[in-house]
A = this chain, B = another copy of it.
Amino acid sequence: MPKSVTRTYSRYTEEVLTLLAGLIRAARLENKMTAQDVADRAGISRGMLSRIEKADPKCEIGATFEVARIVGVSLFEAEPGRLAMHSKQVEQKLTLLPKSARKEKKVVMDDF
Which secondary structure dominates where chain A touches chain B? helix
Given the contacts A61-B64, A102-B32, A19 and B76 also touching, CB distance less than 8 Å = yes
Chain B neighbourhood of A102, CB < 8 A = 32, 34
Q: How many residues of A contact B (CB 8 A)?
A: 58
Copies of the chain in the assembly? 2
Contact flags (1/0) for A2-38 with B, using CB distance below 8 Å?
0000011110110111111011011011111111010
Task: Find residues 70-112 in chain A having any chain B CB closer than 8 Å to their own CB.
Answer: 75-77, 80, 83-84, 86-87, 90-91, 93-94, 97-104
A sample of 4 more A-B contacts (CB under 8 A), given A13-B66, A29-B94, is A13-B69, A22-B87, A59-B60, A76-B76
